[in-house]
């Protein structure tokens, strides 16, 4: 049994998960930087401590952010390792005991400059408590502004291959969970075209750790070929305005429904790192509807119901 209350120590699995997430952060940043000639990720190391109870919580992380690139308008790749007391209100939402916790993970968001290139999000996390409970969670999803079906199929095919290497039922199970989770209920539409989502993977944690690593290592193969294919597609003010409006849906989901945002805020996390996922430029327009039969209308129609992207 580990003692988070005093030292923030973790299990050997937790230590291995932390090391893997930090290695994955380096690999993803290098992959994204390969598209940029003059812009690079800045690094911001931070420490967490509750000023009211400094002996009960702590940890820290490394936030890496690229802004103003020729391909990526804003990209954030973050790792964190935190521990402390779990607030009772949050424990109730999570349906777990309000005991001390240890959590380590990685999250990323990529907001491209071109509206022809989709936004991508991913996060993977390991969570354990002083009562011995532990699990993995995470996922990844694609949010296009102008959907190219061959790109969506590529994204899902790469994820399915990563899933199949660990369990034949994983892809359909976690795709369905993703379609349900990344749904903006007050808009009655999906945030994007899905991917994978999973949480509370308990039991055979070694097997689930293998699965998380498979998906993590597939991320660049799933996303970067789409970037390379679409980054030079022509676009203008109309497409840019549509991108800004659709980014508003992204903001709405993150602030209303996202579990990671809620966890960070309720455990008094670092606000700059929590909100780094928000896009740099976004707009809301009153009662806007795209023109019938337009490419914009096609996207809205596509987001109403989930689709099977892999045969």
pLDDT in tens, 152-176: 999 999 999 999 999 999 999 999 9
Q: Please state the CATH superfamily assignment of the domain spanning residues 12-302 in this structure.
A: Coproporphyrinogen III oxidase, aerobic (3.40.1500.10)
Contacts of 23 (CB under 8 A, 6+ apart): none
Q: CA–CA separation, 53 vs 224, rounded Å?
A: 43
Give the phi and the psi of residue 289 in degrees, each rounded to 5: -135, 130
Q: What is the per-residue pLDDT across 21-69, written as a single tens digit (0 to 9) for each?
A: 999 999 999 999 999 989 999 999 988 765 444 444 688 899 999 999 9
Catalytic residue among 121, 156, 186, 289: 121
What token pair was written down for 66? 């690229």
Residue 277: what pLDDT? 86
Active site residue 186: no
pTM here is 0.91
Q: CA–CA separation, 306 vs 183, rounded Å?
A: 10
- List of the chain residues with pLDDT < 70: 1-9, 49-57, 267-269
Residue 53: what pLDDT? 44
Residue 54: what pLDDT? 44
Where do the structural domains in the chain lie, given as residue ranges? Answer: 12-302
């Amino acid at each position: 049994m580990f003692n988070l209350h005093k030292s923030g120590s973790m299990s050997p699995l937790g230590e291995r998960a932390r090391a893997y997430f930090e290695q994955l952060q380096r690999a993803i940043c290098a992959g994204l930087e390969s598209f940029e000639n003059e812009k690079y990720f800045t690094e911001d190391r931070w420490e967490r401590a509750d000023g009211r109870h400094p002996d009960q919580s702590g940890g820290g992380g490394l936030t890496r952010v690229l802004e103003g690139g020729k391909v990526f308008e804003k990209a954030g790749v973050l790792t964190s390792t935190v521990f402390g007391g779990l607030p009772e209100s949050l424990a109730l939402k999570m349906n777990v005991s309000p005991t001390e916790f240890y959590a380590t993970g990685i999250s990323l968001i990529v907001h491209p400059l071109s509206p022809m290139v989709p936004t991508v999000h991913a996060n993977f996390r390991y969570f354990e408590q002083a009562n011995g409970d532990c699990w993995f969670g995470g996922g990844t999803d694609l949010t296009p502004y102008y959907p190219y079906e061959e790109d969506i199929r590529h994204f899902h095919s790469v994820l399915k291959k990563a899933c199949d290497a660990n369990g034949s039922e994983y892809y359909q199970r976690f795709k369905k969970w993703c379609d349900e989770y990344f749904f903006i209920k007050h808009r009655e539409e999906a945030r994007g075209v899905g991917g994978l989502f999973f949480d509370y993977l308990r039991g055979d944690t070694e097997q689930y750790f293998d699965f998380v690593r498979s998906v993590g290592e597939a991320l660049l193969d799933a996303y970067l070929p789409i970037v390379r294919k679409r980054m030079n597609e022509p676009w203008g003010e109309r497409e840019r305005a549509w991108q800004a409006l659709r980014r508003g849906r992204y903001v709405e989901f993150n602030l209303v429904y996202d579990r990671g945002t809620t966890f960070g805020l309720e455990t008094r996390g670092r606000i700059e790192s929590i909100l780094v996922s928000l896009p740099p430029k976004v707009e809301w327009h009153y009662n806007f509807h795209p023109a019938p039969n337009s490419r914009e209308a096609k996207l809205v129609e596509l987001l109403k119901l989930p689709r099977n992207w892999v045969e």
